[in-house]
């Protein structure tokens, strides 16, 4: 029985390597997205705490300096939230691109896997046919030892 030699094995391995690279890239982009979301939630939490402390109007004397500083800080936090929201959206887009690239790589790899499976199936059929042919030839040969014993009696 001859051994199967898949001619496209190098290409299949290359496609597997591309798929692995894209899986790693997807993991990196997902980690980046998680970091950006964590930063955004930290900024929102800081703003909420600051609003809880300085956002309440109290009666009595108002320190204008503190009021101006707190207003500026809240404005800065709001701008940071807007910027971080944009960064989160960009990271989400990057994750979506990485997912699409991974899906494409998986399709390519599976295509070569299917080709290999078909070639393996054809190889098995050819081997089975050649074995059957050999068995048929062996079965159709005259049994010389049996015939020679019959004539000696």
Within-domain flag for 24: yes
Distance separating alpha carbons of residues 72 and 56, to the nearest angstrom: 16
Q: Is 4 exposed, middle or buried (0-12, 13-18, 19+ CB in 10 A)?
A: middle
pTM across the whole model: 0.67
pLDDT digits (tens, 9 = 90+) for 58-81: 666 767 787 788 888 889 999 999
> Does 143 have pLDDT greater than 70?
no
The closest of 128, 125, 121 to 6, measured between CA atoms, is: 121
- Number of domains present in the structure of the chain: 1
User: In terms of residue numbers, what domain contains 101?
Assistant: 9-152
Whether residue 103 is contained in a domain is answered as: yes
Q: Give first-to-last CA distance, the chain, whole Å.
A: 42
Please state, in angstroms and rounded to a whole number, the distance separating the CA atoms of residues 66 and 149: 122
């Amino acid at each position: 029985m001859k051994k199967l030699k898949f001619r496209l094995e190098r290409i299949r391995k290359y496609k597997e390597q591309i798929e692995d690279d894209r899986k790693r890239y997807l993991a990196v982009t997902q980690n980046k997205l998680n970091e950006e979301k964590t930063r955004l939630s930290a900024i929102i939490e800081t703003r909420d705490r600051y609003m809880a402390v300085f956002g309440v109007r109290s009666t009595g004397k108002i320190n204008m300096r503190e009021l101006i500083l707190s207003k500026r800080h809240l404005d800065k936090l709001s701008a940071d939230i807007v910027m971080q929201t944009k960064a989160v959206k960009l990271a989400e887009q990057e994750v979506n691109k990485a997912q699409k690239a991974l899906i494409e790589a998986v399709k390519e790899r599976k295509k070569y896997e299917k080709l290999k499976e078909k070639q393996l199936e054809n190889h098995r059929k050819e081997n089975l046919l050649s074995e059957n042919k050999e068995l048929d030839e062996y079965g159709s040969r005259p049994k010389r030892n049996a015939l020679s014993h019959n004539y000696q009696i």
